[in-house]
Amino acid sequence: MKLPFITAALPLLLFTACGEQHNNAVQLPPLPTILVNTAPVQKDAGVLWQEYTTTVFAPQTSIIAAKIAGRVTEINVSLGKRVQKGDVLLRIDDTDLRAALQTAEIQNKQAQQDLVRYQGMKKENAVTLQEFDQVETRAATTQSAVQEMTTMLAHTTLSAPYSGIITAKSIENGVMAMPGTPLLTIANDTRLQLQCEIPEQVRSSLTIGQEMQAQIGSKNIKAFVAEIAPTANQRSRTVLIKLTIPQDESVFIGQFGRLRVPLAGNESLRVPDSAIVQRGQLEIVFIANNNTAHLRLVRTGRSSDGQTVIVSGLDKNEADQVITSNTHQLVDGQPITIQ
C-alpha cells in the first residue's frame, strides 16, 4: 500500500536532481585579450592580375643550311659558342668545284679571245652572221659558267649572318651535307623577347607599348607589349602576344617564365602574406573590428612583393584592417589590443 507514495515522490526527486545539475554547469572563462599588429587591406580599383606562362625567344634567329652537296671538311663552332658577324662557321669540300671553275675559266678565256677576233672579222665582212652569232653565244655561255661556278664555290663557306650564339648543331665533320639540310642555328641573344598565349577575351584590354611584369627564373623584370596577333587560335581560343624585355645575361632563350597580365574592370584586395593563416586545407584571415578578431575563410590568388591577392571571402566594404601577428592564437570573436 506504500507504492502510491513512492510514485508521487518520484517527480519531486527528478526535479530536484535537474535543478542541482543546472546550478553546477561549468562556466567558461572569458577569452584572453591578445596583443596584435594590423595592416590595411590594399584595394586596387580597376586592376586584377592574372598570370600566364611565357617563353623567352630570340626574334632574330636563322637556320644555316647547305646550298650545295658536299662533305663537311671544317666546323669552327659548337653549341653555345658566341660568334661575330662574318665569322666562318663551317666549310664544305670545294675540290671538285675549284677544278670545274678552273676549266670554265680556261674555256671562257678562249671564247672571249675568239669573240674579239670574230668582231674584227665581222667589220671586214670576213665572217658570216651565223658564224659570228655562234661565237658570241659561246662567249656568253662560258662567261655564265664561270659566274655560276664562282657562286657555287662561295657556298662552300658558311659564315655568320650577324653576331649571336649557336643554339643548334646537327652536322659533324666529315658528314655529307645536302642542299636544304639545316646544319646550324644561330640566334641574336642580345635582343630577346617573350611570347605568351592569352585568352581571346583579354586581348581587348592590351595595347602596344603597355608595361607588364614578368618573372623569369628568380628575377622580376619589366616587359613591354610589342606585338598582338590580330587573330585567335581556333582550337585553344588564345591570342599570341610578344613583349620586349631589357637585356639580361641571366635570361636565356627557351627559358620558362610567368607573365602578369592586368585584367581591366575588376577590383582586387591584397593583404600582407603574414595575414594568411593556413589551418589544414583552409585559408583564413582575421579582420580587426571594434577590438575584436573576426575570422574569414578566404581563397587566395597570386602572391608577390609580400602581398597576396584575396580572390574571395573578404567584403571590401567591411575589411579595412587585417591582423598580421599572433594569428595562430586567435579564434573568431577573440578580444584584441592593437599595438
pLDDT digits (tens, 9 = 90+) for 134-182: 999 999 999 999 999 999 999 999 999 999 999 999 999 999 999 999 9
CATH for 64-92+156-190, options being 2.40.50.100, 1.10.3720.10, 3.40.50.2300, 3.30.1600.10? 2.40.50.100
Listed in sequence order, the residues at least 6 apart from 124 whose beta carbon sits closer than 8 Å to its beta carbon are: none
Cα(279)–Cα(260) distance, rounded to whole angstroms?
Answer: 28
- From residue 62, give the alpha-carbon distance in Å to each of 59, 90, 156, 160: 9, 15, 18, 9
pLDDT lower than 70: segments of the chain = 1-26, 44-48, 263-267
| The three three-digit cell numbers of residue 281, written as one number | 586545407
279, β-bridge pairs:
282
* pLDDT, position 318: 73
- Neighbouring CB atoms inside 10 A of 160's CB total 21
pTM of the model: 0.61
What are the residue boundaries of the structural domains of the chain, listed by start?
Answer: 34-46+267-338, 51-59+191-265, 64-92+156-190, 94-154
Domain 94-154 sits in CATH at 1.10.287.470
CATH for 51-59+191-265, options being 3.30.70.270, 2.40.30.170, 1.10.10.10, 1.10.40.50? 2.40.30.170
Cα(53)–Cα(327) distance, rounded to whole angstroms?
Answer: 34
* pLDDT, position 15: 41
* pLDDT, position 17: 45
Q: Could you give the 3-state DSSP secondary structure of residue 96? A: helix
* pLDDT, position 326: 92
* pLDDT, position 1: 40
Q: Could you give the 3-state DSSP secondary structure of residue 315? A: coil
34-46+267-338 under CATH 2.40.420.20, yes or no: yes
